[in-house]
Amino acid sequence: MAAVAPAPGPITRQTILETLLAFKRTSVLRTAIELRVFDALADGPRDAAYVSKAVGAPARAVRVLLTTLAAIGYVTEHGVPEHEEFALADGAGRFLVTTSPEYAGDATVVAASQAEWESMGALTEIVRAGTTLLDEDASSPHFTYWQDFNAHGTFATRPVAAALAEVLGDWAAEKRDTLRLLDLGCGHALSGLLFAQAFPQTRVVGLDWPDMLTAARENAAAMGLAERTALIAGDAFSTDLEGPYDLVVLANLLPQYTEQDGIRLLRRAREVLAPGGRVVAAGFTVGDFGPAREFGGRMLSLLLLAWTRGGEVPATEGCLRMFRAAGLTEPEVHDVPNLPTRLFVAARA
């Protein structure tokens, strides 16, 4: 999900048309990524016949796809119709060829997920109803979107985790013995794991639904942190959290629930907090940065309208209110550089 919207300007017939056509651009790019069209062009200009063999699709269909990719600027086109050759546009090799170390095509699984696609198609009915139309919504332990999200994350995942380590660096450095960290609703667990990577005395406990822990387990192993990581399969509202913990992290968790449920989660975090410990909530906020910069947070609220029965990205004041009601100190508020995301850091009141 993009963090910042395009620069605002006057509404014209053209801007209206561009917005209405945007889903087609998304479809074309998503299809090209899924077929690995950009891989087929990685070694230089190729014609549609070559690309069709590489991706395993009929030449006519591939030629139509390639000409459309040229129209939206992801490939370049040379030659005359039906005898064209196509090449990667500037930057496509860096970000859209799977062997590139900066490959970003995995973002399609989250940013253009099938679950979001279907929900946005029903948005008129959702707004009329005022809530989700799903029988099994995003609070279900079997909501499959979260598995994709955990496997791939977003462009904001690592910057937020890095900010957490920086903000709490001095505090963590004072704890020369073991620092126990609970990643509540951990998902991919990168918030806790990257903190543990920065501070070797950290032991991570991640809690999430059973179906959601695969990515956490794989990430811990890949980062060489499996021996310092324990995972609890359960529900954040009811499962025994064990403890005590020096640090409890709730990353992108509070927006999924109502304010009252958010207070319940923060109270549970407070209950397992060791003396001198900290509770941190990280994620989007709205109401502070203006509409364009808050594009990601406001779009997330729209998605939560479609997927939950009360979830919404809170304003900063809403976050502060939850911390106060949960019996925690007035949080320190830290911005994450270049993102409309904040960290709220508090102790036991």
Q: Report pLDDT digits (tens) over 195-225.
A: 999 999 999 999 999 988 999 999 999 999 9
Residues 6+ apart with CB under 8 A from 335: 341, 342
CA distance 29 to 148: 19
Q: Are 160 and 88 contained in the same domain?
A: no
Band the pLDDT of 348: cuts 50, 70, 90.
very high
Residue 4 placed within a domain: no
Name the average pLDDT for the chain: 91
3-state SS class at 142: coil
pTM: 0.86
Mean pLDDT over 253-259 rounds to 94
**Residues 210/147, Cβ–Cβ less than 8 Å:** no
Residue with the two structure tokens 């109401």:
287
Position 344 pLDDT exceeds 60? yes
Q: Are 91 and 163 contained in the same domain?
A: no
Range of the domain at 58: 13-101
Which tokens in the block code for residue 34?
Answer: 């899924």
Residue 127 placed within a domain: no
Mean pLDDT over 147-176 rounds to 83
CATH number at residue 252: 3.40.50.150
Residue 134 placed within a domain: no
In the chain, how many H helices and how many E strands? 16, 9
Q: Are 335 and 255 contained in the same domain?
A: yes
Position 2 pLDDT exceeds 50? no
Mean pLDDT over 67-73 rounds to 96
Residue 1 placed within a domain: no
**Residues 2/296, Cβ–Cβ less than 8 Å:** yes
Residue 135 placed within a domain: no
Residue 3 placed within a domain: no
Q: Which of 101, 118, 134 delimits the end of a domain?
A: 101
Q: Are 95 and 150 contained in the same domain?
A: no
Mean pLDDT over 158-186 rounds to 90
Mean pLDDT over 20-44 rounds to 96
Which tokens in the block code for residue 315?
Answer: 């304003």
Angle of helix 59-72 relative to helix 48-55, nearest 10 degrees, comes to 110
Q: Which of 101, 129, 157 delimits the end of a domain?
A: 101
Q: What domain count does the chain have?
A: 2
Check residue 1 and give its pLDDT: 41
Band the pLDDT of 143: cuts 50, 70, 90.
confident
Mean pLDDT over 165-186 rounds to 91
Band the pLDDT of 150: cuts 50, 70, 90.
confident
